[in-house]
Structure 1
Amino acid sequence: MPTMPAISPAGQPGSARDWFDTPAGRAILDSEHALVADALGSHPGLPWLWLTPTRPDRQVDGRGLCLVRTGDGLHGPVRCGVPLPLPSEAFGAVVLQHVVGGRGDALGLLDEAARVLAPGGHLWLLVLNPLTPYRWRWRGTGIASAEPLTWRRRMRDAGLAPDAVSNGVGPSWRTEAVTESQNGPGLRAAYALRGQKRHLPLTPMRSRRAMPLPLAVPAA
């Protein structure tokens, strides 16, 4: 059985974008490509929004906008920060692929993504798995990782209804793409959580008044 090599924090890239450009990071992104493409195509009647840590090697069909996170900004066909210069409730599907940091992340992409998501649309959040042996490959980069319970709580705080089961994606140790996903993170390098923006009534519904019933007639 291969042993895990000791990795010096100083020997790792200093940002998520740098690390996802390494062979170890690319193996995760390549593993996620089919899932990302399916997610973005899940609401063909509306455009999609895809935020990613590095420029994708492969394009995705359909009508949408792909932006790359670089520090505290986003680059692509438009360059922007937050709030995003995009209309509210305009996108049928949103994919946040390793661009959302911990609670201290000032960019606040999860809340903004929920804002631009149309009611009934789905948001996919792809994050690293803190329980995988693969974590030794990003050690020292400062990239946030947390268990699904933490991310579900944050999705609810953003107004989304997360699915009960996440999908584990990517390799467990070897730096090779693994295209098949599984139920639950397991030992996979990353996992995907899906949340839906539920339809809400525009005005509160009044409860109907109970219909009065006639008094029972006593038996003769």
Structure 2
Amino acid sequence: MVADALAAHPVIGLPWLWLSPSLAGESPEGRGLRLAASGPGWSGAIRCGLPLPLASESLGAIVLQHVPGEGPGEAAALLEECVRLLVPGGRLALLALNPLSPYRLRWRGRRLIARDPIVWRRRMADAGLTPEPAAQGIGPQWSPTASPTLQSAAGLRAAFLQRAEKRAVPMTPIRPRLPLAIAEGVPAA
């Protein structure tokens, strides 16, 4: 699922960024950077904090996977940084824990804070992204085996996927004004 989200941008070859809770597992193929939460910042190929040392409008896709957050200010700063890094048309995929899931007891005390998909959609819109109208539920629902199908809302699934896109408002062409026509025989002064 992460590999699909990272390859979501229509322009092939743009680099991607994956922010995750740990560096366990393999990174997908392609040009990109994977960073893991490490104290107040991020570590991986580079060790840094916000703002990330990447060029503005240089990434085609960003995945935020269960990112830690102490409050709305930290989440807002991270989303604003994602908007800065995404090219117009770039896509953001947020994988977050579902606060309504019975699985929330498994990850209590691990610095992971669960928020409703509506809260994340509002934060994305406030940061300048255009979120999809509904999140998709992913992961197990009542049994410990994960379901391979996506669900069209978070429901009681363990986690959800909320996608958003950075859209640029195109410039509106302004038509040149025609010179003022003055009727013949009328004095101008």
**TM-score (norm. length: structure 1):** 0.72
Q: Distance in 1 between matches of 2:84 and 2:68?
A: 15
Q: Distance in 1 between matches of 2:165 and 2:150?
A: 20
Gaps of 5+ in 1: 1-34, 210-220
Paired amino acid for 1:122: R
Q: What secondary structure does 2:62 align onto?
A: strand
Cross-structure match for 2:184: none
> Where do residues 189-204 of structure 1 align in structure 2 (5 Å cutoff)?
189-201=158-170, 203=171
For the 8 Å contact 1:72–1:107, the answer to whether it is kept is: no
Paired amino acid for 1:39: A
Is 2:37 aligned against 1:74? no
For the 8 Å contact 1:114–1:160, the answer to whether it is kept is: yes
Structure 1 residue runs of 4+, over 6 Å off?
none
For the 8 Å contact 2:21–2:68, the answer to whether it is kept is: no
Q: CA deviation at 1:105?
A: 2.7
Cross-structure match for 1:140: 109
Aligned mate of 1:186, from 148, 151, 155: 155
Cross-structure match for 1:38: 4
Which structure shows the bigger proportion of residues in helix conformation? Answer: 1
CA RMSD in angstroms comes to 2.2
Cross-structure match for 1:120: 89
Paired amino acid for 2:22: T
Paired amino acid for 1:88: S
Q: Distance in 2 between matches of 1:72 and 1:106?
A: 13
CA pair 204-100 structure 1, distance change in 2 beyond 3 A: farther
CA pair 106-199 structure 1, distance change in 2 beyond 3 A: closer
Q: Distance in 2 between matches of 1:179 and 1:70?
A: 31
Is 2:118 aligned against 1:152? no
Q: CA deviation at 1:152?
A: 0.6
Q: What secondary structure does 2:74 align onto?
A: coil
Is 2:18 aligned against 1:50? yes
Is 2:26 aligned against 1:97? no
- Stretch moving more, 170-179 or 79-88: 170-179
Q: CA deviation at 1:208?
A: 7.8
Higher relative contact order (CA 8 A, sep 6+): 1
Cross-structure match for 2:180: none
